[in-house]
Structure 1
Amino acid sequence: MDGSAIWRRNDDHLPAALRGLRLPLVGSPMFIISGPELVIAQCKAGIVGSFPALNAREAEGEPPLLEAWLRQITEELDRHNQANPDNPAAPFAVNQIVHRSNARLERDLEICARWKVPIWITSLGARVEVNEAAHSCGGITLHDIINNTFAKKAIEKGADGLIAVAAGAGGHAGPQSPFALIREIRAWFDGPLLLSGAIASGEALLAARAVGADFGYMGSPFIATSEANAQPGYKQMIVDSGAEDIVTSSLFTGVSGNYLKPSIAAAGLDPDNLATATPDSMNFSSGSSKPKAWKEIWGCGQGIGDVHDVTDVATLVNRLDREYRAAGARLAAEFAAGFAAGFSTGATD
């Protein structure tokens, strides 16, 4: 979606909704943080924006806020596309928590199908009927997984693509190296594959592509943007912190996740001596598995050392674009020089 690009990625093998993006990047859906303002800004900047359906919570007796959000996003992106036919917005995605405690799931599926949401991101459970609901309106599903076994189950149940949540990702991160996880999946799956795990720069995005992912999946850097629905202290803590300030714990939701150490200390806990919790404590009936007591324990991934200031989405995506293309050009020049010098393209001469 950037007319100044001097080359185009070969994305013909991807579903139509994932083709032609300015950058091979999807903004991950973040609890509380991701709302219409952030999603619209991400899409206008040329990357897929997303939000969790459970973020749209109306008061009792009010009409579904999810419907209002989808109307707002759809109409604003339509206006942008009409005014900018040569630079259309990227499509958006809605994240559905497919967990037995999510009492809203069936209602939210119906609303998303009615609004023809183009990309559905599913988490915490792969279910055939959810994929069928997405397909019924022309949408595609991307299911997030933390290992190869879950990846195979998701595809067997009809998911169109996978989000590999590797070590270093914010929120409910997996334990595996991105290099191991992506290569195991690519051994049998050639469909859309996204990588999540400490991707906060254009160089990291290029590395994700090099290892075999089609897209990067980025969350934490977008917390430190003006469009994010985050407290100012949360945004500044992202800027001030680095990888060593991330703590992995199951205490807050029952599933292992990554959190900002200073926010844990501010809640009166010792970040180095946290208790553990089990998955049966997860409950999304109130919109999040996190108890209210932990509402200011702030999730974050390990890539935040690349976040140096609070900015707007357009500025952040512009930086990522410059870094991505510069890193690609450096490597292309290196390989071109090697070939010019007569280096073999094979493993051995």
Structure 2
Amino acid sequence: MPRDDSHLPKALQGLRVPMVASPLFIISVPELVIAQCKAGIVGSFPALNAREGEGEHPLLDTWLTQIKEELDRHNQANPDTPAAPYAVNQIVHRSNGRLDRDLEICVKHEVPIWITSLGARVEVNEAAHSCGGIVLHDIINNRFAKKAIEKGADGLVAVAAGAGGHAGEQSPFALIREIREWFEGPLLLSGAIATGESLLAARAMGADLGYTGTPFIATDEANAQQEYKQMIVDSGAEDIVYSSLFTGVWGNYLRGSVEAAGMDPDNLPQADSSSMNFSEGSSKPKAWKTIWGSGQGIGAVKSIGPAGAIVDRMAAEYAAAGKKLAAEFF
């Protein structure tokens, strides 16, 4: 039986598997986004990843042109298996001095899916809606979820315990249930969604789609150091450290990268959220550039390879797990 996703916005319908690739700071570049979309899931990147030199043409404009043209070529050559839409992540924190310019560029390109982080702002949602886009806002608790919808977001990304990078502490079971008590719109779940089985579990508990990031770090198309990719392959959930030190916001990082920086992962000081500053493109100080983010789902990543292979694996696992579970009820 085909998946019924008719209740979702058009941009989220008809995906090969119900999944959005999360925007990875530095790592998500056009090559990765294009590969994800061609494989049948929503690919995404942070607008702040596109950083041009002083006086140069905005790289974000160049990247969006590249992504749109390549996906259009793919769709013309493969009308029966078109690429999924793409998404752009906007950091709406007040310290992001590029935000207004980047919003204009995204409106110009009619970006279909906007993912907003670190603050819900009415004017950002209005900009997205002005060009036919939808807004998915990421949150770590039910209170922030309600604020996001009140300010005009179309859907939510529930960032639960175990998610890579900035992450919440709540169990996905609790977080999804509380949101679903009042919200019927698009709901995505982030937090160790690294296998088809975990994606099916997310659907079963009430999420419409999974939100997957860490497995795509260890891919050919990812803009990550080879050592970073290999550490993802070599590590497991016990190798994840939860800390606020590196950005001022609590997040998950690879223990090995913390140790390589000469620090004790089990005795890290805390940092205040006031230390966040996106004026340089990232809240992370340059001193922490080799502190690598990761989610707890890395145990599922066994090798470095093409991004499409990640989607192939998860699609097969998702179908197999669904059939196995369905056998209990039908």
TM-score of Structure 1 vs Structure 2, range by shorter chain: over 0.9
The answer to whether structure 1 residue 208 and structure 2 residue 186 are counterparts is no
Aligned-CA RMSD value:
0.4
TM-score (norm 2): 1.00
Deviation at 1:316, TM superposition (A): 1.1
Report the alpha carbon displacement of residue 73 of structure 1 after superposing the two structures with TM: 0.1
SS of corresponding position for 1:335: coil
Select the residue among 220, 226, 229 that pairs with 1:226: 220
Please say if 1:331 is aligned against 2:325: yes
Alignment length (residue pairs): 330
Are 2:158 and 1:164 equivalent residues in the alignment?
yes
Secondary structure, in 3 states, of the residue corresponding to 1:230?
Answer: coil
Matches for 1:116-195 after TM superposition, within 5 Å: 116-195=110-189
How far residue 334 of structure 1 moved from its aligned partner, in angstroms, is 1.6
Query: Deviations along 1:63-99, whole A, 9 cap, x unmatched?
Result: 1000000000000000000000000000000000000
Say if 2:313 is the partner of 1:319. Answer: yes
Q: Structure 2 counterpart of 1:96, which letter?
A: Q
Which amino acid in the other structure matches residue 65 of structure 1?
Answer: L
Cα distance in 2, alignment partners of residues 115 and 131 from structure 1: 16
| Mapped partners of 2:10, 2:316: distance in 1 | 25
Q: In the alignment, which residue of structure 1 is the partner of 2:22?
A: 28
Of 43, 52, 62, the residue aligned with 1:68 is 62
Query: Cα deviation per residue 1:267-290 (whole Å; 9 max; x = unaligned)?
Result: 111111111100000000010000
Structure number with greater Rg is 1
* Matching residue's letter, 2:167: A
Question: SS at the partner of 1:194?
Answer: strand
| Deviation sequence 1:201-242 (CA, Å, 0-9, x none) | 000000000000000000000000000000000000000000
* 7-16 or 142-151, larger mean C-alpha shift: 7-16
In 2: Cα distance, 1:267 partner to 1:8 partner: 49
Structure-2 residue corresponding to 1:59 = 53
1:97 paired to 2:57: no
Answering whether residue 31 of structure 2 is matched by residue 37 of structure 1, we say: yes
State the alpha-carbon separation in 2 of the partners of residues 248 and 18 from structure 1.
31
Q: Return 5+ residue gaps in structure 1 as ranges.
A: 1-6, 337-349
**Separation in 1 of the partners of 2:263 and 2:143?**
35
Shift of 1:335: 1.4
Name the residue aligned to 1:343.
Answer: none
* Equivalence map 1:80-95=2 (5 Å): 80-95=74-89
Q: Give the distance between the partners of 1:314 and 1:255, measured in 2 at CA.
A: 31
In structure 1, the residue matched to 2:268 is: 274
Report the 3-state secondary structure (helix = DSSP H, G, I; strand = E; otherwise coil) of the residue aligned with 2:328.
Answer: helix
Q: What is the CA–CA distance in structure 1 between the aligned matches of 2:295 and 2:310, rounded to whole Å?
A: 17
Report whether the alignment pairs 1:309 with 2:303.
yes
Distance 2:312 2:193 in 1: 15
Q: Deviations over 1:149-195 (max 9, x none)?
A: 00000000000000000000000000100000000000000000000
Alignment of 1:254-265 (within 5 A): 254-265=248-259
2:122 maps to 1:106: no
Identical counterparts, % of pairs: 78
How many angstroms does 1:311 deviate by? 1.1
TM-score, with structure 1 as normaliser: 0.94
Distance (whole Å) between structure 1 residues aligned to residue 112 and residue 172 of structure 2: 27
Q: CA deviation at 1:312?
A: 0.5
Letter in 2 for 1:322: A
Q: Which residue of 1 aligns with 2:73?
A: 79
Structure 2 letter corresponding to 1:331: L
For 1:266 and 1:313, how far apart are their aligned partners in 2?
Answer: 27
Following the alignment from structure 1 to structure 2, what is the Cα–Cα distance between the partners of residues 192 and 284?
A: 28
Q: Which runs of 4+ in 1 moved over 3 A?
A: none
Question: 1:224 is paired with a residue of what secondary structure?
Answer: coil
Displacement of 1:30 in angstroms is 0.6
Match of 1:236 in 2: 230
**1:277-292 to 2 correspondences below 5 Å:** 277-292=271-286
